[in-house]
Structure 1
């Protein structure tokens, strides 16, 4: 986030002082994507991901637990697939020496690496939540959505 701020400020200052620093827009985009992907697992573990609680609220006991296990299993599978293909993309970009088409010509595996790391951490977080739910040790998610939406 600090790097993103630095790139945006550098871009603003360079335009105001009539000089151009190539690549600031591209690097700001890379850093924004990195911040987003690296924050996903932390958001999940804090219980701040958006949840559709309409069906869960109507269920109790074993049915609710079964739905939680199913949802966490599906999310773990999807997050693992996303992580696999993100790592594969970064690896292939490195192997093929793929570079950005912008004027900075950044090797694309560098910004893609932050996405790959973020998706791997997210997959681990989902598997952890699934294991905790299966063992009966997962903390219940409190429904304080109104407090977080203000």
Structure 2
């Protein structure tokens, strides 16, 4: 099937809509642009336009990503950071935006996941505890933080 060729304006609009639908990072928009045969100058012009008009905002994306992955998916900071790095977000920006997660909420979440998961485990106390800690770490919670909850 032949691809319908789009004008520059149509491509630009598609990318605006892509960013409006949900916050995106630069890497996602660059990936999306690969669907269209654009010369580098055109890609650059679109990126600048998206940023200037605030359709594309790396900090806003990072903040909303952190909130979503923590408050909805209950991921720990390690996992969130790893996924953001895959999206080429800088360490500096990630650290700056982690204030989206309240310390109290973080510890309460660790405690709640711990209790829920621990209750479902069978075996001896130490086995249940070690399985639960491994589970929390797989969700991206730091070992030190998990321990803090049970000191």
What TM-score results when the alignment is normalised by the length of structure 1? 0.29
Q: RCO higher in 1 or 2 (8 Å CA, sep ≥ 6)? A: 1
